[in-house]
Structure 1
Amino acid sequence: MEPAVWPLYDLRITTPRLELRLPDLDRLSELAAVAAAGVHDADRMPFVAAWTDVSPEERARATFQHLLGTVAGWTPRKWSLGLAVSWEGKVVGRQDLGATDFAVTGEAHTGSWLGQAYQGRGIGTEMRAAVLHLAFEGLGARSMTSGAMADNARSLRVSEKLGYRPDGREVLSVRGEARDHRRLRLDRAGWEAHRTVPVELHGLEPSLALFGLQ
């Protein structure tokens, strides 16, 4: 991809162990394979949308199509940045950052998933810290939101470590059942007070206009 056409392909976020970037077709194929291999146990559903309740082949295809769709549907007013997360040279998961009217609100939201084979290593915390650095330090965010099911202790612990505070709850229908979903919010002061992961941004400036920023 020629960077002048879509400079987001040149954006990289690095931490001591990870690299996050918009995947080219090769990395996107790797990401699809990670999704196919499994993201969670079959008897639980950590996501609001039960996108993993399909065959491995369908998960791979949906992952591939969805990320390409975020590129195709991007506008400076409404955008969703889907980053492939690499650890030890392997793609291991996906970290998202999205917003509507970010230039006005200064608020964005995050979402993520990590291949089941790579969970329990602190990667989830490190990749969220990376994208929070992009939001607050790189894009000048004022606040960030996230959420998790009440029984998703691992995700809630990650948010707590990074300084998020409770922001209400809601009951959602997932797999035809009522589920308790917790909303979370992080302001700039909370982020600064809980920063522990060194993060570096590379190649951001050419993409600022795509985020609605001048």
Structure 2
Amino acid sequence: MSTLVDLFPPFGLHVRAGSLEMRGLTDELILELCDLAEKGIHDPAEMPFYFPWTAAPAGELARNTAAYHWGKRSTFSPDDFCLDLAVILDGRVIGAQGVAAKHFPVTRTGETGSWLGREFQGRGLGTAMRRAMCELLFDHLGFEEITSAAFLDNPASLGVSRKVGYRPTAVSRIKRREGEMALNQGLVLTPETFVRDTEPIRVTGAEAVRSFIGLDAVA
């Protein structure tokens, strides 16, 4: 009989980076992630995300978060995927780290995105989880370039990118909330500029994910 990991290999992906873990988003982890989102991610007066998904009313935010991840799971293919992982510290889900890619077997690039619950911010965890994700992508999943972006009024995110080795590209004018324009800084990371942690990550389940995103199972 097939297992859930056979049907959706990201469920079996497990990354260990020091005290942090990252795991494929099973329904159980999605529930924890939804509860965390409801507790708050940022000051309500601010908006760090392109799409203002965190502006949803209480209760609706959790449902929207679950529906988003279920939808991305159902349409996952090498030509268009979002690989999202739960970030876990001391057995608790503290945030999410992901990468979105299109036509990956040809382009070998994707854009990272992440968030942390407010109580876990300002402790260096955002940098640690981004480094772990980039190491996973470059060393285990065949990426040759990683992009990201952050609004110019989001210095925390830009600081994480700078520490990890991303380099600035173009600044774009983007509609953020209704009637609001914001300047968005593009960023790019290559293996040559990547600032690694001193301790390598430990990974299980990557071979099946490589095949699932259209690559040979062995690096």
Relative to the length of structure 1, the TM-score reads 0.95
| Residue 153 of structure 2 is aligned to residue 151 of structure 1 | yes
Q: Contact 2:41–2:117 (CA<8 Å) still a contact in 1? A: yes
Residue in 2 that maps onto 1:184: 187
Counterpart CA distance in 2 for 1:123 and 1:46 is 17
Percent identity between matched residues is: 36
Q: Contact 2:41–2:115 (CA<8 Å) still a contact in 1? A: yes
SS at match of 1:91: strand
Which of 125, 132, 135 is the matching residue for 2:134? Answer: 132
Counterpart CA distance in 2 for 1:118 and 1:172 is 28
Deviation at 1:106, TM superposition (A): 1.4
Residue in 1 that maps onto 2:45: 43
Any idea what the Cα deviations from partners look like across 1:74-95, whole Å, max 9, x if unmatched?
0121111111111111001111
User: 164-173 or 199-208, which moves further after superposition?
Assistant: 199-208
SS at match of 2:66: helix
Q: Contact 1:99–1:107 (CA<8 Å) still a contact in 2? A: yes
Q: Contact 1:35–1:56 (CA<8 Å) still a contact in 2? A: no
Counterpart CA distance in 2 for 1:127 and 1:38 is 19
Q: Which runs of 5+ in 1 are unaligned?
A: none
Runs of 4 or more above 6 Å deviation = none
Residue in 2 that maps onto 1:101: 103
Residue in 1 that maps onto 2:196: 195
Counterpart CA distance in 1 for 2:32 and 2:150 is 26
Pairs within 5 Å for 1:12-51: 12-51=14-53
Q: Contact 2:141–2:206 (CA<8 Å) still a contact in 1? A: no
Counterpart CA distance in 1 for 2:162 and 2:115 is 17
Pairs within 5 Å for 1:111-126: 111-126=113-128
Residue in 2 that maps onto 1:7: 9
Counterpart CA distance in 2 for 1:78 and 1:50 is 22
Relative to the length of structure 2, the TM-score reads 0.93
SS at match of 1:46: coil
Residue in 1 that maps onto 2:87: 85
Deviation at 1:197, TM superposition (A): 5.1
Q: Contact 2:142–2:210 (CA<8 Å) still a contact in 1? A: no
Counterpart CA distance in 1 for 2:205 and 2:32 is 23
| CA separation of 1:195 and 1:174: change in aligned 2, threshold 3 A | same
User: 146-155 or 96-105, which moves further after superposition?
Assistant: 96-105
Which of 51, 54, 65 is the matching residue for 1:52? Answer: 54
Residue in 2 that maps onto 1:160: 162
Q: Contact 2:145–2:190 (CA<8 Å) still a contact in 1? A: yes
Counterpart CA distance in 2 for 1:39 and 1:99 is 24
| CA separation of 1:134 and 1:71: change in aligned 2, threshold 3 A | same
Aligned residue pairs, count: 212
Q: Which runs of 5+ in 2 are unaligned?
A: none
What's the C-alpha RMSD, in Å, of the aligned pairs? Answer: 1.1
Question: What is the letter of the counterpart of residue 5 of structure 1?
Answer: L
